[in-house]
Structure 1
Amino acid sequence: MKKRYLIVFLLLLQWTVITTESLALPPAKPDGKLLSDWIALHLKLIRKTKGLSQGQLNRQFAYSSVAFYEAVAAGDGRYVSLKNQLQDLENIPAAPTEKKTCRVASGNAAIASTLRNFYADNPSSTNRIDSLENYYLSVFAKDGFTKDQIKTGADFGVSIATAVLEWAKRDGAAKTYPPYEVPKGDGLWEPTPPGFTAPAAPYASQNRTCIKNSGSNTLPVPPISFAATPASDFYNMVQEVYQASLALTEDQKSMALFWDDFPDGRYYGASGHWASILRQIIDSEKLSLVKASEAYAQMTTTLLDAFNACWKAKYTYNVLRPITYVHRYMNHPEWQSLITTPAHPEYPAAHASVSMAAAKALTYTLGSNIKFTDHSYDDLGFRPRSFRNFEEAGKEAGLSRFYGGIHYRPSIEAGYLLGAKTAENIKSQIHFTEERSK
């Protein structure tokens, strides 16, 4: 009897041992957990990698999501390729014709290959990628797929990743530009404390967008005209930021810190935060694998293009940051914003732009009635924040920059409009199913 109990105990123990990144064995039916686990790993890689910029992260998420979608959608007759829909994406391999190909192995290999490319210089990261990929290969085998079926699926995923990465190389991000000369003059942006860092990504708007003309009609109206005199519109706009910073409630502080999102080893970046939100939705709503991949590709390509449009606007208007104005024109040299001012012009607000773009994209794909609680930074000690829908979260992300002391309200409102217009432009040009194209 004791021996029988021991055997049962050992079997249970073997079942509960998790081989990679605290994963649980998924069912044979292809659900969204495969993508959820890959997003979770990507977020871990971000924290383990120094020096990543928001622009780099936007590209990583967009290109890995496109590769994953193409690999997964090829096995589903309801979905169509993004070939010739995304700008210059012309060479996507045809799917295997074998009926019993392991299609989920295609998605697994595609996203593993793209991430391995992005983190090729970090052996620790590539080891993690290899581990998760191999873990799922063992899952597919346990689900009953043969070695040949898995290999055929995985080979197709690698070919998809190769094509997408070749497409990524042509987006202009690697192009070398002459040193950027910061414009001089009253009211224009200049490097800010504490680091007085050179302007970030001044040529980002020159990069190819995922969707042609996605930035059309997104340039916001000109900002409030600069003035240093008290009672002027510009002075009052800055005064609002300054006065709010002196009387922040605990919730306002929490909001600003929760959405800080600077990729410094703790936060995931803005695109990573939204990927984390989608991951939670995939799990809570039990999305199918292909639906999850659609939402991921729609969101990340929209986010990348909104970043492009926002950066064009920033370096068109070159508006100075609150900290510069408060120090120089309001005579409060000791004042500091709650969160560190990023190294780029103020107008429009970037987090408002990309967050509203992401929120709109998710709304278009998943609907406007999904309530959720965001646990992205539970491990940092932040209390989770709850929202009635994606757009409410997008608005809070933008507003957090006001309480953080780094943006004026009109810039946040301009960001909301820019993000929403970008998402609308993309929705009108891209379709994932034949039904949406009609």
Structure 2
Amino acid sequence: MHKILTVLLLCCQLSFANVWKDELRTHLQPAVFSVTMVMIHDVVNPPAASRFYTYCMMGAYEIVAQNNKKILSPTTFIPSIKPITIEAGSEYDYRIAALYCILETGRLILPSGSMLEEDQKKLIIALLREGYSQKTIDLAIAVSEEVAKKLAANAATDGYLKLSTRVRYRPKKGDAYWFPTPPGYIEGIEPHWKTIRPMMIDSSGQFVPKPPVAFSKDTSSEFYKMTKEVYLVGKNLTEKERFIASYWDCNPFAINTSGHMSIGFKKISPGGHWMNITGIATTKANLDVDQGILVHALAAATLMDAFISCWDEKYRSSRVRPETVITRSIDQKWQPLLQTPPFPEYTSGHSVISTAVSETLTYLLGDNFSFRDDTEVIFDLPTRDFKSFRHAAEEAAISRLYGGIHYRDAIENGQAQGKAIGQFIVEKLKSNGIKPVI
């Protein structure tokens, strides 16, 4: 009998005593990271993670908007976020309330949200050390608890709670269609995700990509050539290509097997990687709490919409993964560098969501915003420098070919799909008067 040993990497090694600083803006990135660590613990799948990030940020965003007239309320251009009336009082520090609301919303909506209570206590201790009175903190907490409660009720109406009641997904019959892959042979993740209510796009089917290249066993066909490319690239990877693939792996739960033992490794999701990049960027840009929360909220909402659009296509085309085709028809012993994720191949999720969020971040922070990404340091990978958000997104996309988990058309058409989503969101921001923050 296989024993699954889950390994949570460095959950407790990041001490908040070392990251809380004297300025309120320095509390933002640690608060978001606290939410990330709970999601790693819970093995939250990629689409669901983007939803949790979005709701955790939207309450904070609304608190800021109600107190900073220069920032437009999300309720004015995001139909999914219903207006929130704050009744807890008017004399409160809204910045503290917004920061605490990130943790409080996560506490309410995440499966293991109670884990955030310790982070809330640490935030309170840090604020007291910085000179804020207990009364000031208590007033802010009262507001954040009210907003988080109302936002959680709003989130409960977006279709997420109905997913478990829907008909279980059964793979389509035929060689052209996706089938669970080794080593876990896990059933398809979130087959009904297209039913989740989006944030800024109109519907899950608004950005349907080009149809995938038709499946064929003919060795002269385009599909066979794409499959052979994945096979040959995987057999001849350079050290740089191996590193890039591993760097953007972002598999929330990878299984390594040894004899009769299976060891599960928990890691950050693709959306979690980009939320950390957002934190790195807002910190480098010296944004205040208000602007930082705005950028985080819009990045999260972009990720959520991009996942909804991508998953709509994944289960429409339900295309077979390269690993399945290659081991059936080319090389029975071949294995991809990365573990094949448990859902259909087309389009590439990382290509879609990375491209989409890079467009939003590029609009808000600039086209040539360079940054050093340290997201994967806790997973024993070094930092990586990028000259722009689009540069990072391009690397994330091609990493899926190096990893052996996507065909080229899923990557390139996924990038086109993501760019269309990102540009649509940017135009919505522009039309509502939301300007770049730097």
Which residue in 2 is equivalent to 1:16?
none
- Deviation, 1:187, is 1.2
Whole-Å separation in 2 of the counterparts to 1:394 and 1:135: 38
Paired with 1:435 and 1:302, the residues of 2 have a C-alpha distance of 15
Matched, 1:243 2:243: no
Determine whether 1:174 maps to 2:161. Answer: yes
Mapped pair 1:270 → 2:259? no
SS of residue matched to 1:69: helix
1:157 Cα deviation after fit: 1.8
1:157 is aligned, of 132, 144, 148, to: 144
Residues 30-87 of structure 1, C-alpha deviations (whole Å, 9 max, x = no match): 43x12112022223323333x3211221111111011121122322121121114222
- 2:57/2:293 contact within 8 Å kept: yes
Q: Structure 1 segments of 4 or more deviating over 6 A?
A: none
**1:108 and 2:99 are equivalent in the alignment:** yes
Residue 324 of structure 1 aligns with which residue? 324
Alignment of 1:2-401 (within 5 A): 21-28=16-23, 30-31=24-25, 33-49=26-42, 51-94=43-86, 98=90, 101-119=92-110, 121=112, 125-139=115-129, 142-143=130-131, 145-175=132-162, 176-213=165-202, 215=204, 217-264=206-253, 265-330=265-330, 332-401=331-400
Larger Cα-atom Rg: 1
**CA distance in structure 2 between the aligned counterparts of 1:385 and 1:410, rounded to whole angstroms:** 26
Distance 2:172 2:39 in 1: 33
Tell me if structure 1 keeps the 8 A contact 2:279–2:296.
Answer: no
Higher mean C-alpha deviation, range 100-109 or range 400-409 = 100-109
Q: What's the offset of the Cα at 1:432?
A: 10
Deviation by residue 1:281-329 (Cα, 9 ceiling, x = unmatched) = 2222222111111110111101001000001111111111101111112
Q: CA deviation at 1:366?
A: 1.1
Change in 2 beyond 3 A, CA 1:86/1:114: same
**Distance in 2 (alpha carbons) for counterparts of 1:26 and 1:110:** 19
State the alpha-carbon separation in 1 of the partners of residues 364 and 285 from structure 2.
13
Deviation at 1:435, TM superposition (A): 5.7
CA-CA distance at 1:207 after TM superposition? 0.9
CA-CA distance at 1:218 after TM superposition: 1.3
RMSD: 2.4
Hey, what's the Cα distance between the residues in 2 that align with 1:246 and 1:321? 17
Question: Relative to 1, partners in 2 of residues 1:396 and 1:232: Cα closer, same or farther, differing over 3 Å?
Answer: same
Distance 1:434 1:153, change over 3 A: farther
Task: Tell me the alpha carbon deviations over residues 101-128 of structure 1, each in whole angstroms, 9 at most, x when there is no partner.
Answer: 31222112211211111346465x2343
TM-score (norm: length of structure 1): 0.87
Q: Matched residue of 1:71: which SS?
A: helix
Alpha-carbon shift at residue 190 of structure 1 (Å): 1.4
Distance between the aligned counterparts of 1:372 and 1:81, measured in 2? Answer: 29
Residue range with higher mean Cα deviation, 86-95 or 56-65 = 86-95
Cα deviation for residue 272 of structure 1 reads: 0.7
SS at structure 2 position matched to 1:341: coil
CA separation in 1, counterparts of 2:30 and 2:125?
11
Q: Distance in 1 between matches of 2:363 and 2:369?
A: 12
Q: Which runs of 5+ in 1 are unaligned?
A: 1-18
1:14 — aligned with what?
A: none
Contact 1:74 1:95 in 2 (8 A): no
Work out the CA distance in 2 between the residues paired with 1:159 and 1:432: 31
Cα distance in 1, alignment partners of residues 306 and 434 from structure 2: 26
Answer yes or no: is the 8 Å Cα contact 2:373–2:383 preserved in 1: yes
Q: Flag the 1:179–1:214 CA change in 2: closer, same or farther, 3 A.
A: closer
Q: Give the secondary structure class of the aligned counterpart of 2:155.
A: helix
- Quick check: 2:35–2:103 contact (8 Å CA) kept in 1? no
Supply the distance in 2 between the matched residues of 1:53 and 1:146 (Cα, whole angstroms): 39
- CA offset at residue 234 of structure 1? 0.6
User: Residues of 1 paired with 2:35 and 2:105: CA distance?
Assistant: 11
Q: 1:238 to 1:287 in 2, by over 3 A?
A: same
* Distance in 1 separating the partners of 2:420 and 2:235: 34
| Contact 1:314–1:348 (CA under 8 A) maintained in structure 2 | yes
Conserved 8 A contact 1:116-1:129? no
* Aligned length, in residue pairs: 411
Whether the 8 Å CA contact 2:59–2:151 is kept in 1: the answer is: yes
1:319–1:345: 8 Å Cα contact kept in structure 2?
A: yes
| Sequence identity (%) | 27
Secondary structure at the aligned position of 1:386 is classed as strand
Q: For 2:405, give the aligned amino acid.
A: I
Query: Equivalents in 1 of 2:401, 2:171: separation in Å?
Result: 25
Q: What is the letter of the counterpart of residue 106 of structure 1?
A: A
Query: Does the aligned pair in 1 maintain the 2:206–2:309 contact within 8 Å?
Result: no
Please give the secondary structure, in 2, of the residue aligned with 1:292.
Answer: helix
**Does structure 2 retain, via aligned residues, the 8 Å contact 1:398–1:416?**
yes
